[in-house]
């Protein structure tokens, strides 16, 4: 795949991800409006975490290992061999997910106790029931990851890029038409139905590739063993990252009502930048890095890596400043309606402020993990992930005493920043000088531009609100106007400060 096609695919993925995220915002707004930020939503989010955490972790590892194995099978056994292996892996994953679902059903009370030790009585029983209702999601996710791996190995990205759209439409339809604010069970049933759309929308493309289901299972297939050898280090690395989520929710369950929901809403707001922009960058950069490494071209490898990391700085530094300054109006505009009151806005905006501090670190760690994967080194990211969890646990217990749920968000941010720095150090030891001074220079320039931008945005927003008033429409106009002005100021300053990556971004935008 040439660089032009990579860019086109990344642009498509980014565009559909943005649409999915927009629909996801509507979904979260409707959930907040219908159910608020309290007893029932806390219970639902914990039950969903208990339901999905295992397959989310396994799925992350499968995405890293299935694609190259499918490609290798096709090159050695042809398309028929690839389809046969696809049948095999599909049946094996189905068998595994059914076992996991049964295991989770039996041990649901224990799982909920681990995830939310503060839940007792009726809330604990409700969490167990919701968790058991949602267990078919495990099987759906298994199919989704295998289907995506198969299609992406054939360089077909459309179905997996758009699967978030029907997923969110199911929720939106339910919340607008069928939701009953006194019955949270319906929301979990909607979650089960929504999860099935993620693999069903991929079926036509798979059928078009010539797939016809057969009950074929061969546990002795050598490629199954190869997937296992690739999956285990990535699986451990993904699992330890999920532990951060578990720890946060466990500690938040002992805080005031609404703490879990506030962290959940804030994390999803913060994740927009990573999911829409950073994921697209890593999608573009990863195959280029792999090719440069395979060819032994160290110069090209460092050049590609420099462009990727500096582009991350260009995007995440101003995003961090903007979110920190406008966290409260962002939450109020998107969520404050119905059962989501001003108290929930204050709690969620506080968590969002401290989550945003780690935006650069989270994005940088995602990029650097891809760099190590391109070197066929899955051990370093795994060890780094373990260190991140250890630091997060220590900081959680320190900060939660003084800052409640906001301390949990701050701990997550600090651990992300610290471990991304460690990854940079490990990378330098592995391949030699990587141009750290250049990265620091780019970061400093973007920080200066972002701080000046922040002053403009903050003063402009508050000035417009004073003139227009505090109605939701008026605040939205003030927010969008301030953001637009901030973007212009930021990019102008970056050009004046000669940040090369900004010129490249503007050039790509103009061409597209």
Contact 389, 380 (CB under 8 A): no
**pLDDT of 295-342, one tens digit each?**
677 777 787 788 788 888 888 899 999 999 988 888 888 777 766 778
Tell me the C-alpha to C-alpha distance, in Å, between residue 502 and each of 51, 134, 140, 299. Answer: 42, 45, 41, 22
In the block, residue with structure tokens 């290798």:
72
User: Which distant-in-sequence residues (6+ apart) come within 8 Å of 500 by Cβ?
Assistant: 310
Q: What is the predicted pLDDT for the residue at 10?
A: 64
Give me 105's structure tokens: 């059903």
* Residue among 160, 172, 140, 143 nearest 51 (CA): 140
Handedness of CA 436, 440, 442, 446 (dihedral sign): positive
Q: Per-residue pLDDT tens for 336-359?
A: 776 677 888 888 888 899 999 988
CA distance 179 to 192: 15
Tell me what the pLDDT averaged over the chain comes to: 81
Of residues 506 and 53, which shows the higher confidence score?
A: 53
- What residues contact residue 308 under an 8 Å CB cut-off, 6+ apart? 281, 282, 284, 285, 367
Secondary structure (3-state) at 266: helix
Split at pLDDT 50, 70, 90, the class of 226 is: confident
Q: Note the pLDDT tens digit of each residue in 25-59.
A: 788 778 877 777 666 777 888 888 777 777 777 77
pLDDT at 7 > cutoff 60:
no
> Is the confidence at residue 434, as pLDDT, over 80?
no
Decide: helix, strand or coil at residue 230: helix
Calculate mean pLDDT across residues 491-509: 74
58-62, 247-251, 393-397, 490-494 — which is least confidently predicted?
Answer: 58-62
285: Cα separation from own chain's centroid: 18
DSSP 429-475: HHHS---HHHHHHHHHHHHHHHHHHHHHHHHHHHHHHHHH-SSHHHH
pLDDT at 9: 64
Reference 354, options 482, 240, 262; nearest CA is: 262
pLDDT, mean of residues 366-379: 78
What residues contact 176, with CB distance under 8 A and at least 6 apart? 30
Burial 101-114 (b: 16+ CB within 10 A, else e): beebeeebeebbbe
Give the pLDDT of residue 1. 41
Q: Which residues contact 428 (CB under 8 A, 6 or more apart)?
A: 434, 436
Q: Do the beta carbons of residue 497 and residue 448 sit within 8 Å?
A: yes
Mean pLDDT over 239-244 rounds to 68
Q: 173-206, pLDDT tens digit by residue?
A: 888 888 776 677 888 888 889 989 988 999 898 9
Can you give the length of the chain in residues? 512
3-state secondary structure at position 33: helix
Closest CA to 452 of 489, 500, 502, 478: 489
Mean pLDDT of the region 374-378 = 72
pLDDT digits (tens, 9 = 90+) for 260-291: 888 888 887 888 777 777 777 776 666 566 66
Question: Of all residues in the chain, what percent carry a pLDDT higher than 70?
Answer: 89
Return the closest-CA partner of residue 385 out of 410, 361, 358, 420.
420
In angstroms, rounded to a whole number, what is the distance separating the alpha carbons of residues 463 and 456?
Answer: 10
- Cβ-Cβ contacts under 8 Å for 254 (sequence gap 6 or more): 117, 118
pTM exceeding the 0.85 threshold for the entire prediction: no
State the average pLDDT over residues 470-494.
87
Residue 2 has pLDDT above 50, yes or no: no
- Burial string for 284-294 (b: 16+ CB within 10 Å, else e) reads bbbbbbbbbbe
pLDDT for 3:
42
With b meaning 16 or more CB within 10 Å and e meaning fewer, what string describes 438-451?
Answer: ebeebbebbbebbe
């Amino acid at each position: 795949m040439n660089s032009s096609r990579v860019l086109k695919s990344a642009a498509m993925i980014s565009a559909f991800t943005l649409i999915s995220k927009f629909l996801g915002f509507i979904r979260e707004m409707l959930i907040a409006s219908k159910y608020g930020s309290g007893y029932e939503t806390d219970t639902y989010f914990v039950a969903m975490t208990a339901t999905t955490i295992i397959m989310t972790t396994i799925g992350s590892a499968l995405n890293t290992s299935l694609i190259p194995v499918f490609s290798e099978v096709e090159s050695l056994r042809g398309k028929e061999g690839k389809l046969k292996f696809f049948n095999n892996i599909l049946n094996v994953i189905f068998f595994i997910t059914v076992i996991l679902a049964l295991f989770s059903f039996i041990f649901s009370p224990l799982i909920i106790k681990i995830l939310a030790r503060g839940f007792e009585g009726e809330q604990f029983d409700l969490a167990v029931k919701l968790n058991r209702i949602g267990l078919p999601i495990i099987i759906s996710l298994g199919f989704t990851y295998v289907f995506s791996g198969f299609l992406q190995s054939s360089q077909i990205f459309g179905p997996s890029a758009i699967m978030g759209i029907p997923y969110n439409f199911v929720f939106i339809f339910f919340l607008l038409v069928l939701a009953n604010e006194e019955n949270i069970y319906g929301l979990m049933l909607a979650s089960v139905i929504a999860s099935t759309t993620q693999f069903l929308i991929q079926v036509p493309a798979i059928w078009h590739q010539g797939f016809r289901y057969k009950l074929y299972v061969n546990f002795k297939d050598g490629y199954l063993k190869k997937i296992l050898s690739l999956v285990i280090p990535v699986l451990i690395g993904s699992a330890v990252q999920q532990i951060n989520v578990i720890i946060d929710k466990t500690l938040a369950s002992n805080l005031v009502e609404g703490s879990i929901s506030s962290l959940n809403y804030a994390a999803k707001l913060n994740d927009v930048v990573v999911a829409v922009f950073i994921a697209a960058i890593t999608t573009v950069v990863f195959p280029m890095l792999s090719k440069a490494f395979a060819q032994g071209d160290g110069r090209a490898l460092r050049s590609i890596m420099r462009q990727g990391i500096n582009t991350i700085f260009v995007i995440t530094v101003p995003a961090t400043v903007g979110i920190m300054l406008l966290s409260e109006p962002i939450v109020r505009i998107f969520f404050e309606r119905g059962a989501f009151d001003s108290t929930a806005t204050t709690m969620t905006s506080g968590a969002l402020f401290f989550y945003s501090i780690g935006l650069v670190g989270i994005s940088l760690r995602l990029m650097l993990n891809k760099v190590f994967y391109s070197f066929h080194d899955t051990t370093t990211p795994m060890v780094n992930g373990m260190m991140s969890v250890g630091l997060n646990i220590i900081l959680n217990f320190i900060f939660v005493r003084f800052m409640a749920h906001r301390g949990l968000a701050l701990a997550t941010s600090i651990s992300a920043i610290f471990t991304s720095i460690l990854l940079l150090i490990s990378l330098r030891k592995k391949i030699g000088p990587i141009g750290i001074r250049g990265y620091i220079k780019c970061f400093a320039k973007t920080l200066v531009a972002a701080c000046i931008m922040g002053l403009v945005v903050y003063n402009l927003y508050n000035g417009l609100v004073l003139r227009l008033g505090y109605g939701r429409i008026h605040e939205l106009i003030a927010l969008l106007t301030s953001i637009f002005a901030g973007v212009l100021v930021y990019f102008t300053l970056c050009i004046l400060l000669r940040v090369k990556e900004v010129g490249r971004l503007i050039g790509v935008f103009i061409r597209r």
